[in-house]
């Protein structure tokens, strides 16, 4: 235990303390705890994710990308709650074979995203493992008391919206697994980047407070995540499949293989926002989209009932690959 801890202290001082600079509550990572105090009238939103090498990312993925994906997945959760990012803690379990240059690149990825998204390291833990790299981030955001966006607020009559484009993450993963060999290089690169480095919609999420009835981010896939909103809200969701916004690259992929529509509706890793809002919010949402330069697209409707289904442009139900979600 002594040698593990000695290594830990050196690593903290060398690699992690610089990431905590400028956040008084981190106490320079020299104490056993950090201090978090929400601003007057605000409360803290807490979210946490764990990733494992070989399970959640390919084991030889560059360390800076691994760091940024983990941080961004958490930032995406904060965005979906309408919260402003404040700080995060990091728990790393590393095999002894992991060299300092891996850690250096990992922390460089964090440093770049801390700047980009206005979040800072507050504390953490570093241990050795005989298993794969295992990483946990717990992220803290602030929001005005009682205003956090939830999954549970969808109401019949709401329109369903998504930010950005859908399916890119799942298609990017297929490419990394050797599929879609016929796609143009520019599209391949775009889709892989979308999988590897999601764009948490932090500014958008904060602006949806007071507009959206329910919100979450798309991590498990559009249909599965919409099912979560429908379930906890006690409503049914109808996806108008032709309205689901596709990137140019995703559209090109579907031209090659129309079967990939299942990956678009069912695949995960988009980290776009999924939210519902009443019809009279449409002008506000259009203005928000214009202001952010981010498409916010209506893709369906909330109805009384239970479950999720998808319909085509003629209104006919489309069979979804995941039958568990079709009992609309």
Cβ atoms 77, 117 nearer than 8 A: no
Q: Residue 41 or 156: which CB sits closer to its own copies?
A: 41
Establish if 51 lies at the interface with its own copies (CB under 8 A): yes
Q: How far is the CB of 268 from its own copies (least distance, A)?
A: 6
Distances (CA, A) of 152 to 71, 81, 137, 155, 302: 25, 12, 25, 9, 12
- What is the C-alpha to C-alpha distance for residues 326 and 324, in angstroms, rounded to an integer? 6
Distances from the Cα of 55 to the Cαs of 60, 129, 197, in angstroms? 12, 16, 17
Question: Least distance in Å: CB of 242 to its own copies?
Answer: 24
Q: Do the beta carbons of residue 200 and residue 81 sit within 8 Å?
A: no
138 vs 247, beta carbon nearer its own copies: 138
Q: Is 50 in the site for its own copies (CB under 8 A)?
A: yes
Phi, psi at 266, each rounded to 5°: -110, -20
Applying the rule CB under 8 A, the residues between 154 and 193 that interact with its own copies are none
Residue 56 binds its own copies, judged by CB under 8 A: yes
How far, in Å, are 201, 284, 298 from residue 161 at the CA level?
14, 13, 4
* Tokens of residue 170, six digits: 């799942």
Residue number, 134 or 252, with CB nearest to its own copies: 134
Q: Would you count residue 55 as binding its own copies (CB under 8 A)?
A: yes
Size of the site for its own copies (CB under 8 A): 64
- For residues 230-239, b (16+ Cβ closer than 10 Å) or e, as one string? bbebebbbbb
Residue 144 touching its own copies (CB under 8 A): no
Q: Which of residues 65-84 bind its own copies (CB under 8 A)?
A: 77-78, 80-81, 83
Q: Out of 33, 186, 286, 290, which residue is the one contacting its own copies (CB under 8 A)? A: 33
216 binds its own copies per the rule CB under 8 A: yes
Which residues are at the interface with its own copies (CB under 8 A)?
1-2, 5, 27, 30-38, 43-52, 54-56, 77-78, 80-81, 83, 89, 91-93, 122-125, 127-132, 134, 136, 138, 140, 145, 148, 150-152, 216-217, 220-221, 224, 228, 232, 266, 268, 322
């Amino acid at each position: 235990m002594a040698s593990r801890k000695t290594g830990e202290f050196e690593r903290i001082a060398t690699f992690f303390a610089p990431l905590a600079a400028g956040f008084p509550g981190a106490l320079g990572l020299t104490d056993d705890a950090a201090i978090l105090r929400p601003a007057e009238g605000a409360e803290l939103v807490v979210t946490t994710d764990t990733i494992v090498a070989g399970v959640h990312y390919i084991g030889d993925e560059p360390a800076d990308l691994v760091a940024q994906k983990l941080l961004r997945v958490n930032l995406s959760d904060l965005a979906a709650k309408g919260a402003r990012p404040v700080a995060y803690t990091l728990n790393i379990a590393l095999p002894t074979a992991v060299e300092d240059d891996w850690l250096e690149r990992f922390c460089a990825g964090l440093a770049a995203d801390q700047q980009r998204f206005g979040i800072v390291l507050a504390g953490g833990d570093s241990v050795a493992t005989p298993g794969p790299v295992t990483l946990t981030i717990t992220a803290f955001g602030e929001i005005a008391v009682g205003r956090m966006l939830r999954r549970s607020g969808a109401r019949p009559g709401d329109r369903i919206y998504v930010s950005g484009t859908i399916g890119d993450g799942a298609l990017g993963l297929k490419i990394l697994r050797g599929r879609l060999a016929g796609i143009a290089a520019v599209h391949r690169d775009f889709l892989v980047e979308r999988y590897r480095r999601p764009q948490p919609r932090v500014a958008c999420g904060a602006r949806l407070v007071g507009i959206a009835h329910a919100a979450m981010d798309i991590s498990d896939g559009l249909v599965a995540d919409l099912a979560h909103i429908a379930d906890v809200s006690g409503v049914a969701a109808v996806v108008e499949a032709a309205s689901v916004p596709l990137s140019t690259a995703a559209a090109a992929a579907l031209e090659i293989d129309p079967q990939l529509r299942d990956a678009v509706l069912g695949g995960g890793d988009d980290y776009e926002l999924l939210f519902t809002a009443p019809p009279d919010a449409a002008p506000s949402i259009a203005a928000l989209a214009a202001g952010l330069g981010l498409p916010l697209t209506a893709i369906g409707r909330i109805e009384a009932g239970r479950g999720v289904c998808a319909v085509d442009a003629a209104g006919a139900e489309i069979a979804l690959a995941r039958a568990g979600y079709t009992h609309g």
